Amino acid sequence: MVNLKVQAESQDLWDDREYALSLMKKISDQSSLIDGWKLIQKRFTDIYELAELDDEALRPELEAELGSIEKLLSEKEITALLSGPYDQGNALLMIQSGAGGTEAQDWASMLMRMYLRWIEKRGFKSEIIDQTEGEEAGIKTVTIAVEGIYAYGYLRSEKGVHRLVRLSPFDAAHRRHTSFASVEILPADVSGDDEIIINPEDLKIDIFKSSGAGGQNVQKNATAIRITHFPSGLVVICQNERSQLQNRANAMRVLKARLLEIKQAEDEKHLAELRGDYVKTEWGSQIRSYVLHPYQLVKDHRTDFEIGNAQAVLEGEIDPFIESFLRSKSSTN
């Protein structure tokens, strides 16, 4: 924290506006974390002083306050497990439908809704920076920028293939179907990483009209951006914003995050921590299964943690799965 404040006092700080804003955000986040611990300490002091009064009438209030403090400490224990270089920062959440056609595209949209609900409950901010609709229903792909302290640290446990088993709403015979969608999580705050250098000469930037559902949603002006990075072969598209500049900025943000992923993948240990081994989006490769028929169950295959209330999970109640995964990773390190 002291080192960050020293950097913030530099006279040429605002020569690089992007870096300056990133640094100020880090200072703000660190201050919030410190203030959180100070508040817990004060609440402990207050409850200790009240307990010393030995007043039986205060017992219900003290027990309630103690339970609240224990919950806060449990949350702090989880954040203590998030010690990676990007864990405290923002995240890019990407969902792509897999095997299953319309079924999988509908499942991808269900996952998007689940994560948006979780983001809202967490008090984080979300912005859909690119989305491709399905032909009949759902979505093919979506990229969501998630802003909040520890957004990447929490969400990185969601990386992998998610499997759905249900009675199909798109099957006239109402038969049981299995669908797949993949979730990819990347750190969003990589602008200050000196190793991520993008040479403008290595980029091909195409501008085109955004696709839409028709009517007023179709862009009459060319604002969508496609960036091709020749050295890596990466192609990034952003088309959700009406401004060409905003789409370009978002596309560059995604490109930097993907280049960071490639850099980290050069070390097998970093690869395992940041992304995990590549797996196809199909049967047998899932990290989690969501069963809606013939019974309700959501099970994480990495930790064997499961919950019977699948509807609650799809409404964004995924914290138990995140915490179980983080604790399991900690115990194996």
Distance between terminal CA atoms of the chain?
27
CATH class of 200-265: alpha beta
- Ordered by start, the domain boundaries in the chain are 2-80, 91-192+282-332, 200-265
**Within 10 Å of residue 62's Cβ, how many Cβ atoms?**
16
Closest CA to 155 of 164, 165, 145: 145
- CA distances, 319 to each of 149, 194, 277, 287 (Å): 15, 33, 24, 16
Same topology between domain 91-192+282-332 and domain 200-265: no
> Using an 8 Å Cβ cutoff, are 102 and 164 in contact?
no
pLDDT value of position 272: 55
Phi-psi region of 219 (alpha: psi -120 to 50; beta: other; left: phi over 0): beta
Q: Assign residue 304 a region: left if phi > 0, alpha if psi is -120 to 50, beta otherwise?
A: left
Q: Any idea which of 24-38, 53-67, 171-185 has the lowest mean pLDDT?
A: 24-38
Report the phi/psi class of residue 41: left, alpha or beta, with left for phi > 0 and alpha for psi in -120 to 50: alpha
Of 46-55, 72-81, 110-119, 189-198, the least confident: 189-198
Overall average pLDDT of the 47-55 stretch: 84
> How distant, in Å, are the alpha carbons of 65, 205, 230, 265 from that of 233?
55, 13, 5, 16
Strand partners, 96: 141, 182
Q: What CATH architecture is 91-192+282-332?
A: 2-Layer Sandwich (3.30)
CB 281 within 8 A of CB 98: yes
Under DSSP, the state recorded for 139 is E
d(C-alpha 278, C-alpha 264), whole Å: 14
Share above pLDDT 90 across residues of the chain, in percent, rounded to a whole number: 43
Q: What is the mean pLDDT of residues 173-201?
A: 84
pLDDT at 331: 64
Please state the rounded mean pLDDT for residues 251-269.
Answer: 80
- Kindly report whether the global pTM for this prediction surpasses the value 0.85: no
Count CB atoms within 10 A of the CB of residue 192: 13
Taking 50 as the threshold, does the pLDDT of residue 217 lie above it? no
- Dist. CA 216–CA 225, nearest whole Å: 20
